[in-house]
Structure 1
Amino acid sequence: MPAKTTTTQTDGFSAEERAAMKERAAELRAEGKKGAKQADGLEALLDRIAQMDPEDRALAERVHVAVTTAAPDLVPKTWYGMPAYANEDGKVVLFFQDSGKFGYRYSTLGFQDAANLDEGDLWPVSYALQKWSPTVEKRVLELVRAAVS
């Protein structure tokens, strides 16, 4: 009988997944100065996500998985107290703003000018996120891949 998983797409990370990410942060610290900076950023990002309300936390965790899957070279960090992902130059490419941060009715996935989303003279750089679904996941993956292309 297969092992039962403790995480669903909308429930967020399991305790085991959180522990594995903390272990990865420790590994990065052991790699030296650059790894330590990335580990500190990952730890700060995970701590910030853990502080969110359950609905926002579940969305932020899914965004984290999508970003690290589609753009593993982006560096996790916090930016103005929000989970964010930066390029090698340290410039923030995208961020997640939970609805509770400013009392909004939805969370936001936002892109900064370092993102390669330019399309003519007008393009969206902020997306409202209310629920995670396969359709939302597919679109987020597309946006992240385009942002780092």
Structure 2
Amino acid sequence: MADQRSKADGFSAEERAAMKQRADELRASKGLKGAAKLAKELEACVAAIDGLDGVDRQVATLLHGIVTDEAPDLDPKTFYGFPAYARDGKVVVFYQPASKFKTRYGTVSFDDPANLDDGPMWAVSYAVVEVTDAVEKKVRELVKKAAS
């Protein structure tokens, strides 16, 4: 990241904001269970998507639709302020918008519970700079495989 890091703690302002968002996410769902928790997390996920612009919003909207179609068992939530989708509370796939850390591209990324294993090495993060039919097809394939 090209931005200035604080000499006191080594984190950029954007990184500190993301950590604060994660703490807020955990506090917001504390004490909630079942349908109430799922509804609150869905609301937060949709709000995170609605707060994006341009390609970030297009990609996050695409991912949300694909997960809804291909992996409805994954629960929408936020993860450090990112739109994310989890199984049993563990994030499977999320979108990290470029605007979050002022990077050149946003990424569709998969965490450890994703079933993308392919030999001794495989990709878990994909840069997306434009939504195209080919991008949609690839993300759909990855989500289906990850959620299987």
TM-score, with length taken from structure 1:
0.75
User: In the alignment, what sits opposite 2:65?
Assistant: 65
Task: List, as ranges, runs of 4+ consecutive aligned residues in structure 1 with deviation greater than 6 Å.
Answer: none
Aligned counterpart, 2:19: none
Matches within 5 A, 1:47-62: 47-62=47-62
Deviations 1:57-94 (A, max 9, x none): 1221111101111100100000111110001x211001
For 1:92, what is the secondary structure of its paired residue? strand
Quote the residue 1:27 is aligned against. Answer: none
Which residues of 2 match residues 1-149 of structure 1 at below 5 A? Answer: 33-87=33-87, 89-149=88-148
| Distance in 2 separating the partners of 1:54 and 1:136 | 16
Counterpart CA distance in 2 for 1:59 and 1:120 is 28
Distance, in Å, in 2 between the alignment partners of 1:121 and 1:106 is: 27
Deviation at 1:54, TM superposition (A): 2.7
Q: For each residue in 1:7-32, what CA deviation from the matched residue of structure 2 results, as whole angstroms up to 9, or x when unmatched?
A: xxxxxxxxxxxxxxxxxxxxxxxxx9
Cα offset, 1:33, TM superposition: 4.2
SS in structure 1 opposite 2:104?
coil
Q: Secondary structure at the match of 1:113?
A: coil
Q: Which has the higher contact order (CA 8 A, sep 6+)?
A: 2
Distance 2:59 2:145 in 1: 20
Aligned residues, how many? 117
Aligned AA (1:93):
V
* Identity score, percent: 52
Secondary structure at the residue paired with 1:138? helix
